[in-house]
Amino acid sequence: MNDSKTLRAWWNDPVDYRWLVRTLAARAALGPLKVLIGVAGVGIAVMGAVIAGTPVGPPGRPGIASTVGVACGALWALRWWLLRWPSKTESLVLIGCADVLFTLEFLQVPDRLFAAMGAVLLVVTGSYLGFFHSARALAAHSAWSLLSVIVFSVRIATGGQDVRLALAVGLLLFVSVVSALPALQILYWLLRTESLSDPLTELLNRRGLETRLPRLVDQHPAICVMTLDLDRFKNVNDTWGHRVGDTVLVRTARRLHDAAGQDAVVARTGGEEFVVAAPIASAAARTEAERLRRAVAEPPETAVEVTASVGVAVYDASVCPRCPRPTPERLLQSADSAMYRAKQSGGNLVVVDELNPPREHEHPAPAPGSR
């Protein structure tokens, strides 16, 4: 992947906020993280109380600005300590409000050099965004941070200080507050992407599938999960060697990725097992599975030919509006079970496991090569 493609992929990555929260909760890290975020609010409240009435603090004793800062810091801590982890929307609103509050509060500070130091707090909110939210959310934060740095620097220059000092402070804040966080988010995104990808085929691995499939299930009224297992693949490795076997796996991955389409999630979940999930209606599921089965079995560039047993699990809310929506885990289990039935029947077959009961008097005939 070249640099431009990497940057586009990073920019367009939606980031699965709920998956990140669930992962942290599963590893008992959410509680300590809530405590630490709340402690940051306490620190801000204490700082506001300490500088109130001092020469560097906002005007007044204690003054409206100091009172607002102390109150907001305390409320921030109580929110994180006493309430559940915020939703994605609330999370963005909280960080956006914190960004605005930091800038406006420190604009009230008469000591303009000390006020500029307050912009460093934007690193805290930016770090949170870089971990939990998308590049676009971080870009909005960076734009606000840049505007804040410019305003603080101009205040220093127009307040009787040396213009060179204002420029130096501005450059220091730009590097620490604006430019560093996107670079760190790109590094984090690359590491996360690598951990969710199969290094051989560059498809998603099982963990990557587990992050993408729930979102696909939630977003579409119809969902089709297909498990494909290459038939007698051990013979390929035994006859031709593992290097040729790897070539066959890469070829299969490429064919499935090209055939599945942009809306599909394609993953390699085991040695020779692949999963394709896509928003496909129940009536079209068998046809789509047959198309993928034929794509795998197309005459190869080399002498090594393979076929696949395909198990399909399909749920379609339009067929049965009152049927409970299956979990991603159940869809995968049903597709696996159907795939094993296809393999036990000789392989190179499609077996469909519909999770909706068929409509009354509806008995579709299986296609050739299907069961």
Q: Is the peptide bond before 62 cis (omega within 30 degrees of 0)?
A: yes
Of 189, 187, 20, nearest to 88 by C-alpha is 20
For residue 174, the 8-state DSSP code is I
287-290: long-range pairs with CB below 8 Å, 24+: 287/367, 288/224, 288/226, 289/224, 289/226, 289/350, 289/352, 289/370, 290/350, 290/367, 290/369, 290/370
Residues 187, 335: Cα–Cα separation, whole Å:
35
Cα separation, 343 vs 338, in Å, equals 9
CA triplet 340, 346, 347: central angle to 5 degrees? 60
Q: How far apart are CA 332 and CA 337, in angstroms?
A: 9
- Sheet holding 273-278: strands in order across? 265-268, 273-278, 222-230, 308-316, 350-354
CA distance 48 to 70: 5
Catalytic residue among 210, 272, 288, 290: 272
Identify the residue whose tokens are 């055939």.
259
The answer to whether residue 272 is catalytic is yes
CB 355 within 8 A of CB 331: yes
Residues annotated as part of the active site: 272
